[in-house]
Amino acid sequence: MIRVDSQRAFLAAWLRGEACSWCDPVGHELRFYTQSGPTLQLLPAPFSSFRLREALMRRFLAPGRYEGCYLSATPEGAPLLMLQLTGSEVPQDAIGTLYSLADMA
C-alpha cells in the first residue's frame, strides 16, 4: 500500500487500481484496497463510542443510502467504516458516503 500526501494523489492511485492511504487535514485516514474486492475504508480520528452508535443508527435508518457500508474496528479497537465498492462508484461520491455515515460531511 502506498501512502500519499493529497486527496488528488489518493484519487489518482485509486483510479489506477493501486492500494493507497491518505490522511486528510483533520487526521481522518482513508484507505483504498483492491484485494478481495475493492474496498474503501475510513478511520475517523477521534471517534467516540457515542458517534459510533450514531453511525450505526444512520446505517440502520437509511439502508439504501448506505448500502455496502459496514462498521467494524481495527485490531487496536479504533472504529473502522468500510464501503464495499462495485466499481461503478464515482470516487468522490464514495468518499462522501463514508464521511456522511460518520457525520463528518
- Using one digit for the tens of pLDDT, what is the confidence trace for 2-32? 999 999 999 999 999 999 999 999 899 999 9
Residues spanned by the domain of 77: 2-101
What pTM did the predictor assign?
0.89
Q: Is the pLDDT of residue 73 over 90?
A: no
CATH of residue 78:
3.30.1460.10
- Residue 97 — φ and ψ, nearest 5°? -60, -45
At residue 59, the pLDDT reads 95
What's the chain's length in residues? Answer: 105
The 3-state DSSP class for residue 58 equals: helix
Q: How many domains would you assign to the chain? A: 1
